[in-house]
Amino acid sequence: MDIKKIPTILMVLCLVFSFDYSRAQAIDLQSANSFSVFAGVGAITNIGYTVIAGDLGYSTGSVLGFPPGIINGTTHYADSLSSIVNLDINAAYNNILSLTCDSTIGTTMGNSQTLTEGVYCMGAAATLVDTLFLDAQNDPSAVFVFKIGGAFATTAFSQVVLLNGASACNVYWSVTGAFGSGDSSVFKGTLIVDGELDLGLATDIEGRAFTISGAILMDSNTVFLPPSCMVVLPVTFLDFRGTFTSSNEVLLEWETAMEYNNSFYTVEKSTDCMNFESIATVEGKNISYTLSEYKFVESNVQERTLCYKLSQTDIDGSSIHLKTILVYTSEDIRKTHTTQIFPNPHHQNLHYIDQEITSYNSSVFTLSNAFGKKIRQFHLFEKQNLLETNLSPGIYYYTILRGDNTIESGVLLAE
């Protein structure tokens, strides 16, 4: 072979076998896939003849106005699934925020503007006027992501139009602020809003309407989730818990109420509740319509505090994080926990009970992040307290002071 030709051959091979890793990728909504409307923290209120085609729920909040509104799906109100859905929506929102911008565009969209696939960023409040065209250029996998660094509003009769194979399943909008749609507007894609979400009279959404923290207001709307967007995972999960035994073992137990096409469970472990490693896979029941109980024992445990994460994978490879728990394995740590602090892990709200608290003998409850920075502090004067922590998912450390004395300290996990 002519050695002089080798560089040319290598260049051709690089061109032939190169892949475009810079393309925007679909956002994994995990357990939130089947939901059309969901409020993380906030009330869902409807007036008029609204139709929800898909699941509806909240993690912390309330629902009013159904009927007259109609829900063609299941409802999940502050149950075990809704807490998981809330975590997955938060994860999707943070995933979007972490994406690199392909293009920074003006804060006024529409007016017959046409955009192709990519990640589009707006650094301030934005408005959609008239018509915005999203052109997939005959690629049904084309993904459109919009990161809006402020509130977002659409004008009356505005519309998002999908062209050349574009799918509402692959359109995502993150809004760092409130969202409001003008009357009789047509919107496409999954909205994840960190603020109030207000759908104007007769607004239609082909996709999803989610809030991280904020109410959802509806008025004679249609929120339609195309069946092609729904990836329903096959497990009705009940609980996951861990117990440290006298044999230096951690007994992990979990239950499901129903399984369909369930392949296996994965158990992961972490000493800091942030970096996990897989330690076991447990075969699922495939198809079961009765209570299924599972156990896994980790032997020769040496660490003082551990986090365990449980996830599930179906036969098609789709997976979901079910729950993360915290297990104390050191007897001296367990003995110091004389007060009642629950649940742990917790989400947004934490119960603290201390029978020794009086108006003259109060306590100070301080929360710090993994870097030791104080982020929350509560002055407690009652024996029973509900603490609104509103923490992002992660590991935190707490200290309880009474006077100048530390009466308790430990680890909390926020989901």
Q: Are residues 109 and 196 in the same domain?
A: yes
> 245 with 220, same domain?
no
Which of residues 229, 244, 262 is at a domain's end? 229
Residue 314 near residue 233, CB atoms below 8 Å: yes
Predicted local confidence at residue 234, as pLDDT: 65
Distance CA 392, CA 40 (A): 12
Note whether 178 and 58 are same-domain residues. yes
Query: Are 210 and 73 within one domain?
Result: yes
pLDDT value of position 303: 73
Give the per-residue pLDDT at 184. 95
Phi and psi for 173 in degrees, rounded to 5? -130, 120
Provide the pLDDT for residue 17: 32
* 319 and 350 belong to one structural domain: no
CA distance readout (Å), 376 to 60, 265, 364, 366 = 20, 35, 10, 6
In a domain, 1, yes or no: no
Residue 25 lies in a domain: no
Which residues in the chain land under pLDDT 70?
1-23, 231-234, 273-274, 289, 304-305, 329-339, 355, 358-360, 384
Q: Please answer whether residues 143 and 102 qualify as being in contact, where contact means their C-beta atoms are separated by less than 8 angstroms.
A: no
Considering the domain architecture, whether residues 80 and 169 belong to the same structural domain is answered as yes
* In a domain? residue 17: no
Asked if residues 381 and 362 have their Cβ atoms less than 8 Å apart, the reply is yes
The verdict on 216 and 247 lying in the same domain is no
Strands 216-219 and 70-71: unpaired
Whole-number pLDDT of residue 233: 53
Give the CA distances from residue 415 to residues 85, 100, 241, 334, 347, in Å, rounded to whole numbers and listed in that order: 11, 26, 15, 22, 5
Pair 81, 196 in one domain:
yes
Query: What does the pLDDT read at residue 10?
Result: 38
Q: Which domain covers residue 383, as residue numbers?
A: 337-414
Is residue 4 in some structural domain?
no
Q: What's the confidence (pLDDT) of residue 183?
A: 96
Which CATH number belongs to the domain containing residue 268 in this structure? 2.60.40.10
Q: What is the pLDDT of residue 360?
A: 63
Question: End of a domain among 177, 203, 229?
Answer: 229
Q: In this predicted structure, what is the pLDDT of residue 332?
A: 46
Q: Do the domain assignments include residue 119?
A: yes
pLDDT tens digit sequence for 1-36: 444 443 443 343 333 333 344 567 889 888 888 899
Identity of the residue numbered 268: E
**Residue 7 belongs to some domain of the structure:** no
Q: Name the domain count of the chain.
A: 3
Query: Percent helix, strand, coil in the chain (nearest 5)?
Result: 10, 55, 35
> What phi, psi does 357 have (nearest 5°)?
-75, 135
For position 146, what pLDDT does the model report? 97
Q: Which residues contact 213 (CB under 8 A, 6 or more apart)?
A: 40, 41, 42, 194, 195, 390
**In terms of domains, do 296 and 383 share one?**
no
Q: Are residues 376 and 262 in the same domain?
A: no
Q: How far apart are CA 380 and CA 288, in angstroms?
A: 47
Among 192, 211, 229, the domain-final residue is 229
